[in-house]
Amino acid sequence: MVFPGPYFSKEKILAGIEQTMEKREEAGEYHSKDFEWEFLKNIVENDPSLSHHLHHHHQNLSKYLPDSQPWQDFHSRHSSGKFFKERRYLLKEFPELVSCGENSKLLEIGCGNGSTVLPILRGSKNITVYACDCSSDALVRTKENIDRAISSVDNFHSFCCDFSTSEFPDWVACDRCRDKFMLNHSGGSESKHCIGGVDFVTLIFTLSAVPKERMPRAIKECFAVLKPGGLLLFRDYGLYDMTMLRFEPEKRVGFREYVRSDGTLSYFFCLDTARKLFTDAGFIEVELEYCCVKAVNRRKGKDMYRVWVHGKFQKPFSN
Ligand SMILES: C[S@@+](CC[C@H](N)C(=O)[O-])C[C@H]1O[C@@H](n2cnc3c(N)ncnc32)[C@H](O)[C@@H]1O
């Protein structure tokens, strides 16, 4: 097996994978397991040319703790929204979003251009969707994409928030406080007594963008905003995903943590790390698995291995 090196155009590789994924979606294949993750692990961990991805300690490793500025810059640069792509598989991966009861509430964290909120708003009439991002440009783009795709939605609210450094506003959890907030434009101290919460939190390719050492705090915020019994739906980059192995050694800023040339971060999760992060915050593991997709670059005849982590975690009904 040969891993795509720098001589491959990134756009071509990604386009090939997109095509494969689209075909999958059309064929109704979502829980993809083209190969066993251990198969890829065995190859990667025995390939000396990839050894720089494996070690805990690395002499060039420096602490890199960006704020949300690189993401804000990313969204202001990509204002055309051409990166927008609806995640059509989402409701199949997380069917509880369709079967949920009336008046359910969902918080999508790191909504980007709306790739996740759009299929949810489309497919699930019962849900009120809250969305946040650390970039206000992203929120504008999300609203534009919703308005373009679905006319007049009254069950969507968005707000700016960096969930790795701040708490969610109380009104996310409580209708009464939200109404008050909309009237006064202030949270009000009485909202501190709220015991409400959202039924779902979605973290779709957002946690990997948070510095590893801030993840525990960020996940505690997710826990706090959920109702007892509420679900956190998680999908993100998996360990030894092709995009991890393409990072140059000097892009490594921590164990399994890399910085892109635009300054945004990307962490790659193994199941144990994801499990520990969520259970340490108090969640119960409901589902946790790798999603492994093999795409073929026809022109070069090379296999490309994509790995994602799919997870569902529940806030217990009682402590
Ligand atoms: C890869 S995008 C994922 C977007 C969306 N969830 C989706 O399904 O396509 C990650 C998003 O998280 C946002 N983000 C990164 N760090 C964040 C933070 N600490 N707080 C809130 N949003 C953040 C970025 O601005 C970006 O829009």
C-beta neighbour count of 203 within 10 angstroms: 25
Q: What is the pLDDT of residue 301?
A: 76
Q: Atom 26 in ligand 1: which residue has the minimum CA distance? A: 112
How far apart are alpha carbons 167 and 10 in whole angstroms? 37
Rounded to the nearest 10 degrees, the angle between the axes of helix 215-225 and helix 271-280 is 50
Which sign does the torsion angle of CA 224, 226, 232, 236 carry?
negative
What Cα–Cα distance (Å) separates residue 32 from each residue in 47, 207, 258?
A: 25, 22, 26
What is the rounded CA–CA span in Å between residue 94 and residue 136? 27
d(CA 243, CA 97): 29
Q: What is the largest CA-CA distance in the chain?
A: 63
Residue 100 has what DSSP assignment?
P
pLDDT of residue 91: 93
Ligand 1 atom with the smallest distance to the CA of 264 is 15
Pocket test for ligand 1, best of 67, 79, 134 (most atoms within 8 A of CB): 134
Task: Give the CA distances from residue 125 to residues 25, 44, 179, 190, in Å, rounded to whole numbers and listed in that order.
Answer: 22, 44, 21, 31
Q: Decide: 316 and 223 in contact? Cβ < 8 Å.
A: no
Which domains, from first to last, does the chain contain? 10-314 (3.40.50.150)
Q: Which pair of structure tokens corresponds to residue 28?
A: 């109704």
Beta carbon of 112 within 6 Å of any ligand 1 atom: yes
Angle (CA) 263-309-167 rounded to 5° is 60
Going by CA atoms, what residue is nearest to atom 18 of ligand 1?
162
- CA of residue 134 to ligand 1 center, whole Å: 7
pLDDT at 303: 83
Q: Is there an atom of ligand 1 within 6 Å of 311 CB?
A: no
Distance CA 226, CA 141 (A): 26
Measured in Å, residue 109 CA sits from the centre of ligand 1 at 7
Report the pLDDT value the prediction gives residue 101, as an integer from 0 to 100. Answer: 85
What residue owns the CA closest to ligand 1's atom 20?
Answer: 162
Phi, psi angle pair for 118, to nearest 5°:
-65, -50
The residues near 187 (Cβ < 8 Å, ≥ 6 apart) are 169, 170, 171, 177, 181
Sign of CA dihedral 164, 92, 275, 46: negative
Does the Cβ of 164 fall within 6 Å of ligand 1? yes
Q: Which atom of ligand 1 is least distant from the CA of 74?
A: 25
Q: Are 224 and 172 contacting, i.e. CB atoms less than 8 angstroms apart?
A: no
pLDDT for residue 1: 46
Q: What is the distance in A from the centroid of ligand 1 to the CA of 111? A: 6
117 lines ligand 1 (CB under 6 A): no
Q: Is 90 in the pocket of ligand 1 (CB under 6 A)?
A: no
pLDDT at 171: 82
From 133, 167, 233, 235, give the residue whose CB has the most ligand 1 atoms within 8 Å, as the site to mutate.
Answer: 133
- Closest protein CA for atom 2 of ligand 1: 112
Q: Is 71 in the pocket of ligand 1 (CB under 6 A)?
A: yes
Q: Residue 193: what pLDDT?
A: 41
What per-residue confidence (pLDDT) applies to 269?
A: 98
pLDDT in tens, the chain (319 residues): 444 444 445 555 555 555 566 566 555 455 578 999 999 999 999 999 999 999 886 555 556 777 789 999 999 888 766 666 889 889 999 999 998 888 899 999 999 999 999 999 998 888 999 999 999 999 999 999 999 998 778 899 999 999 999 999 888 877 666 666 566 654 444 444 455 799 999 999 999 999 999 999 999 999 999 999 999 999 999 999 999 999 999 999 999 999 999 999 999 999 999 999 999 999 999 999 999 999 877 777 788 899 999 999 999 997 6
Q: Does residue 209's CB lie within 6 angstroms of at least one atom of ligand 1?
A: yes
Using the mean position of ligand 1's atoms as its centre, give its distance from the Cα of residue 112 in Å: 5
Residue nearest to atom 25 of ligand 1 (CA): 71
Is residue 207 lining ligand 1, measured as CB closer than 6 Å?
no
Return the pLDDT at 46: 96
Ligand 1 pocket member 243 (CB < 6 A): no
